Amino acid sequence: MASRSVNKVILLGHLGKDAETKFTPSGVSRSTFTIATNRRWKDQQSGEWKEETDWHNCVLWRSENLANYLTKGKQVYVEGRLQTRSWDDKDGQKRYMTEVVCDDLVLLGGRGDSAPGDYAQPVSMPRSAQQRPQPAPSAAAPPDDFSQGITDDDVPF
């Protein structure tokens, strides 16, 4: 099937620095940050363990409120796609940059900011879910025995 293709990136790593948020002239937010991922392997010749760190440039559109949580050292899970862009620098040289355009991002905690045993804490829902129109609430109230004392404030999303 030559007509199909896939451009999907999944990363689980730590933020290299605090996210920076800027706005386009039309007011759309663009947050940028870097994620470090590590790879560890045993050298066949020396028998020593070696480690390599890769750095990934990431961009997150339309989530200015999320940038406050994206601080250096936090562990994040990111899904998105690769995008390469080019521009001419001040010397006229053609420059290229490949970055991960994030569709989904989950803040996992880490680097001493959570208690032991404290796991994934989603801060963002999938962008596809954010863009769908929500159905209007039903006018009929649920039966009294159904509510169990739970309000909208008790729901974590």
Any idea what the CATH number is for the domain that residue 27 is in?
2.40.50.140
| Gap between the Cα atoms of 108 and 120, Å rounded | 4
Q: Is residue 137 part of a domain?
A: no
Domain count, the chain: 1
* Residue ranges of the chain whose pLDDT lies below 70: 1, 109-157
- How much is the pLDDT for 65? 79
Q: Is residue 155 part of a domain?
A: no
Domain that holds residue 104: 9-126
Q: Is the sign of the CA dihedral 78, 81, 84, 89 positive or negative?
A: negative
Q: Is residue 140 part of a domain?
A: no
Q: Is residue 73 part of a domain?
A: yes
- How much is the pLDDT for 3? 82
- How much is the pLDDT for 118? 44
- How much is the pLDDT for 156? 57
Scanning the structure block, which residue is given the tokens 């940028």?
A: 32
Q: Is residue 131 part of a domain?
A: no
Q: Is residue 143 part of a domain?
A: no
- How much is the pLDDT for 111? 52
Q: Is residue 118 part of a domain?
A: yes
